[in-house]
Amino acid sequence: MVPVITGAAICPPAPLLARKLTGRDPVIPELREACTAVVTRLVRSGPEVIAVVGAARRTAIWPADGRLDLAAFAPALGGRVRGPAPPLPLPLGLGARLLDEAGYRGPRLLRSVGSDEPAAACLRLGAGLRGLGDRVGLLVMADGSARRGVRSPGYQDPRAAAFDAALERAVRGGDLEPLRAMDADLARELLAAGRAAWQVLAGSMSGRVTAAELLFSGAPFGVFYLAAWLPGHPA
């Protein structure tokens, strides 16, 4: 059987995806619904394994039963992750939660990619994911610039909008070539922490041109988010 990528779900690694973190106000339920929908699509695409990919300090594979340490963001919520295994990096922790919430019980690979990993290494990591099994699903936890406006976490950078627009165009059209050529320095300056993860995605779906279903696109809090489902094709 020819290995296939069943598809890639894309969600932003924003802590506020965790419902409890926004307090009594759901704040942005539509974003959570969009993420739930794309992850549900992923689970229903019939993967034998799902790889969760996100940028973090270092490139590593994390314990599949790892969890997000919500208490790191909201100590009052308790549930501090204890034990020998360190808590998951934010993107992987959120991704793992999304899989749990979608009812996914199958095998998962939690793969972080170092934020400073050069493009070639990211692409290689992505290509490697294709070898995980005959039917591999991807959950890519990545977003755009956190410098979209004066109220953004990183304040305004006039280059941010164009950067994010290019990102959205690539995903929307399913043409991932521009992701391979993402400017790492520019991404760093624009606080686009997901750059390395985007390039892992590009490596994993190399050469594919698939129109995405975009369920969310925007920068409601000054950080550019996409929630999208990229259907896969045989590799």
Partner 1 sequence: MTDAASSTDTAGQRVLRLGGRSFGPRQRLVMAIVNRTPDSFYDRGATWDESAAMERVHAVVGEGADIVDIGGVPAAPGAEVTIAEEIRRTVPFVAAVRAAYPEIVISVDTWRHQTARELCVAGADLINDSWGCWDERLPEVAAEYGAGLVCSHAGGLPPRTRPHRVEYGDVMADVLERTLALADRAVSRGVDPSRILIDPAHDFGKNTWHSLEVTRRLGEMAETGWPVLVSVSHKDFIGETLNAGREERLAGTLAATAVCAWLGARVFRAHQVTQTRQVLDMVSAIRGDLAPSRAVRGLA
Residues at the site binding partner 1, with contacts judged by CB under 8 A: 14-16, 20-25, 27, 73-80, 146, 153, 220-223
Smallest distance, partner 1 to C-beta of residue 27, A: 6
The single-letter DSSP state of residue 140 is E
With a CB cutoff of 8 Å and minimum separation 6, the contacts of 80 are 69, 71, 72
Residue with smaller CB distance to partner 1, 7 or 89: 89
Residue with smaller CB distance to partner 1, 206 or 217: 217
Residue with smaller CB distance to partner 1, 51 or 94: 94
Smallest distance, partner 1 to C-beta of residue 51, A: 25
Residue with smaller CB distance to partner 1, 80 or 188: 80
Smallest distance, partner 1 to C-beta of residue 147, A: 12
Question: What DSSP line would sit under 149-204, residue for residue?
Answer: STTSTT---TTHHHHHHHHHHHHHHTB-HHHHT--HHHHHHTT-TTHHHHHHHHHH
What is the amino acid identity at position 65? D
Rounded Cα gap, residues 143 and 201, in angstroms: 12
Residue with smaller CB distance to partner 1, 76 or 150: 76
Residue with smaller CB distance to partner 1, 42 or 98: 98
Rounded Cα gap, residues 35 and 107, in angstroms: 20
Smallest distance, partner 1 to C-beta of residue 199, A: 23
Smallest distance, partner 1 to C-beta of residue 25, A: 4
Rounded Cα gap, residues 84 and 103, in angstroms: 26
Rounded Cα gap, residues 17 and 13, in angstroms: 8
Residue 93 phi, psi dihedral angles, 5° rounding: -65, -45
CA dihedral of residues 118, 119, 120, 125 (deg, nearest 10) = 90
Smallest distance, partner 1 to C-beta of residue 113, A: 22
